[in-house]
Amino acid sequence: MTDTTSTSTGNTTPRTAPLLELRGIGKTFGNIRALNGINLRVDAGEVTCILGDNGAGKSTLIKIIAGLYGPTSGEYLVDGEPVDFSSPRQALDRGIATVYQDLAMVPLMPVWRNFFLGSELRRGVGPFRMLDVARMRRIADEELRKMGIDLPDIDAPVGNLSGGQRQVVAIARAVYFGARVLILDEPTAALGVKQSGVVLKYVSAAREAGLGVIFITHNPHHAYMVGDHFVVIKLGETELDQPRSELTLDDLTHHMAGGAELDALQHELERAKDPQVDPLHDAAGEGPDVQGL
Amino acid sequence: MSHVITPPAPSPGGSEKALRLGRRSVLRHFLTRPEVGSLVGAVIVFTVFFTIAEPFRSAGAFTNILYASSTIGIMAVGVALLMIGGEFDLSAGVAVISSGLAASMFAWYFSLNVWVGVLFALAVSLAIGFLNGWILVRTKLPSFLVTLSMFLMLQGLNIGITKLVIGTVSTRNISSMDGFDQARAVFASSFTIAGVEVRVTVLWWMVFAGLATWVLMRTKVGNWIYAVGGDQESARAVGVPVARVKIGLFMTVGFMAWFSGMHLLFMFNTVQSAEGVGNELLYIMAAVVGGCLLTGGYGTVIGAAIGAFIYGMTRQGIVLAGWDNNWVFFFVGAMLLLAVVVNGWVRTQANKR
């Protein structure tokens, strides 16, 4: 892990300790081992991609990083200090923001209310402290424009936005609230090609701004477009852990798809083809006769 | 805030969308308000009774309607907040009676100033609300089951304890006890505006509805209430204290139940321990007619107030029109069905743009 790319720290001062580090993280639910011995390092200005099939343990890992679960074993360090989060709020306070697959947004609420949910701006004193509606609406609008989306109506319920727009609102929110590490949980999973492109652009914009990004996906093509470092998780364990310089898209796709297992499967399928081919040829031979009638 | 994202080229998706959407007109904006359906309903009901029932047109009749509305409306304020927060409370109807009984019997049994009983009842009501919320949060059971259990238990306790303490099913008349007159002034007096007598509960109803609307629209807690009702998991993920909000909402219903119970007690001097059953559904009716979604996250307290007003008009209007009183519930039920259908239709139409 120590030989990872330290050159990509970009416009921030080089740190001795990474923004976020996991050492030998494990998690069990009863007798089910969801994660085992996971190492992860996130530096500022770097996109770390976590790839894995469904059920590989990606979601469990994010939940540990986000502070929703505590790990059963291993160490979790932020800025080199061990931490033990008991709620997402504590992780947020250390600058670790998660954009969940469901985006943690309330569909029926207006965009600006969602933007500030849980961190509302207020004015006034004592029991009469009230929401600073004008300021929240203005800031939400400004921040979204900065991200390049111009919503026609900041009062529209979030449920009326497109999937890509919702993602960007969630990312803009995390960045505005001082995120240093941005965890994106499958941001492109439910999106079309164009919308995915929009989201990937913001991922790279966030990296340029000096944030550490953890990008969870099961799409190696999306990952390879923005990633600096790749970790593939399989059945709760690290299958691959390499910087971009040592990896090609084909390698990544190969590992992601199951690597050696897939080779074996392919081999097996090729053998199985032969006996099926003959009857097909026979059937094809009867074709013209039937049509001739 | 500390980071400046380099603005990527404005996404074609965004501007294209903006071109296609345009701004919503003011009328459309108004039509997306949750209480529009109930407002239209209120106008229709008012017009119908105004036309067919001559006694309905007097100012005195109007204040009677307001009074009937306020008795349901005060509770509907709490129930609407709770419903927006994603839960409902079937124990609210009997909890009103529990509160009245607690105040009356505590003061009577220990021969205390009635205000001591009033405070005791407040503690009891808040405790009932807390218990509802706490059990809900801890067991993660649906509020239907938790509050149904509470409803049945309270109904049993109401009659059982009253029989134990008093020996009959209703409390003793407390009108001659210390502090009764002051308490009556607060909870059950009336005042005169422009020669018409208005019950003080109408005023309280307006105060509570106004306060709740302010909290809902302009405070952090209000934002949290919508969030908790709209999507509990999302709310939790961004740091909203979901459990505290829910318990707080149940305790708000408890507070309103206390107020309604005090009104009953100081209005009639005694409390019948078996009453209250079925009223919880009227409160829910008022909130739903007013545009609150039963599933939470949507609605307003103003809507619930209009819902209660529709109930008040129907109730008094049928009497004033000289019809059989038993038809009240048929009309209230039909109104509920109609309101739910119209509210849903208006919402989808307005959102279709």
B39 versus B352: the higher-pLDDT residue is B39
Reported as a single tens digit per residue, the pLDDT across B244-273 is 999 999 999 999 999 999 999 999 988 998
CATH number of A7-248: 3.40.50.300
The predicted pLDDT at position B99 comes to: 95
Contact B247, B89 (CB under 8 A): no
- Is there a contact between A108 and B23 if contact means CB atoms under 8 Å apart? no
Q: 3-class SS at A20? A: strand
Instruction: Annotate B117-134 with DSSP letters as a single string.
Output: HHHHHHHHHHHHHHHHHH
Specify the range with the lowest mean pLDDT, choosing from A95-104, B57-66, B104-113, B120-129: A95-104
* Interchain contact A98–B (C-beta under 8 A): yes
The predicted pLDDT at position B257 comes to: 96
The verdict on ipTM greater than 0.85 is: no
Half-sphere exposure of B20 (CA within 13 A, CB side): 7
Structure tokens at B198: 């208005």
* CA B266 to chain CA centroid, nearest Å: 21
Question: Which residues in chain B touch residue A206, judged by CB atoms under 8 angstroms apart?
Answer: 3, 5
At residue B333, φ and ψ (nearest 5 deg) are -65, -45
The predicted pLDDT at position A8 comes to: 42
- Is there a contact between B3 and A98 if contact means CB atoms under 8 Å apart? no
* Interchain contact A210–B (C-beta under 8 A): yes
- Is there a contact between B1 and A146 if contact means CB atoms under 8 Å apart? no
Domain limits, chain A: 7-248, 259-293
Find the closest chain B residue to A127 by CA distance: B219
The predicted pLDDT at position A274 comes to: 56
Measure B49 CA to nearest chain A CA, in Å. 36
Contact B93, B78 (CB under 8 A): no
Candidate from B7, B13, B231 with C-beta closest to A107: B231
Which DSSP symbol is given to A35? E
Find the closest chain B residue to A151 by CA distance: B18
Domain limits, chain B: 36-346
User: Which pTM value belongs to this model?
Assistant: 0.79
Fold of B36-346: ABC transporter involved in vitamin B12 uptake, BtuC (1.10.3470)
Measure A151 CA to nearest chain B CA, in Å. 7
* Interchain contact A82–B (C-beta under 8 A): no
* Interchain contact B352–A (C-beta under 8 A): no
pLDDT category at A260 given cuts 50, 70, 90 is low
State percent of chain B over pLDDT 70.
91
* Count of C-beta atoms within a 10 Å radius of residue A31: 5
